[in-house]
């Protein structure tokens, strides 16, 4: 089986995730990287979108999760995204999701990042 990697880099979403009350009220910017290891054996030379993972659909799924739900923890949001990708896209054999919170209330930092990996095997 030949595997193909499809990545979405630095997608930005505004959401109300966080454990502190002001994060729930005022929200925050989040940055998301998604790496999907896919079995595209059926793609061969068909050049058809239906034989691959439509990354626009993946993006919209993540956007929906960030827009509809409020999580206390970035870790929980990350796991939710991983599980949603794996359950909605059968061609994805493994997914690695990185979520960054640039304005985490810690002091002077670039960001806090949570990384999760989920695979079918």
**Amino acid 91: pLDDT:** 96
**Amino acid 107: pLDDT:** 76
**How many CA atoms lie within 13 Å of 102's alpha carbon, on the beta-carbon side?**
11
Number of domains comprising the chain? 1
Run means of pLDDT, 10 residues per run, the chain, 121 residues: 93 86 81 96 87 96 93 94 98 97 78 93 77
CATH of the domain at 85: 3.30.1130.10
**Amino acid 62: pLDDT:** 97
Residue 38 falls in which region: left (phi positive, over 0), alpha (psi -120 to 50) or beta:
beta
Could you tell me the pTM of the whole model?
Answer: 0.91
Cross-strand partners of 38: 4, 92
**Amino acid 90: pLDDT:** 96
The domain in which residue 35 lies consists of 3-119
**Amino acid 118: pLDDT:** 97
Say if residue 45 is exposed, middle or buried (CB neighbours under 10 Å; 0-12, 13-18, 19+): exposed
């Amino acid at each position: 089986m030949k595997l193909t990697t499809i990545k979405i880099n630095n997608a930005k979403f505004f959401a109300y995730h966080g454990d502190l009350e002001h994060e729930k009220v005022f929200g925050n910017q989040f940055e998301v990287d998604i790496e999907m290891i896919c079995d595209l054996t059926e793609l061969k030379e068909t050049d058809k979108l239906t034989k691959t993972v439509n990354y626009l659909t993946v993006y919209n799924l993540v956007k929906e999760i960030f827009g509809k739900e409020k999580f206390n923890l970035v870790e929980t949001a990350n796991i939710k995204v991983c599980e949603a990708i794996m359950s909605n896209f059968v061609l994805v054999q493994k997914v690695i999701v990185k979520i960054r919170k640039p304005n985490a209330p810690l002091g002077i930092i670039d960001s806090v990042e949570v990384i999760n990996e989920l695979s079918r095997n």
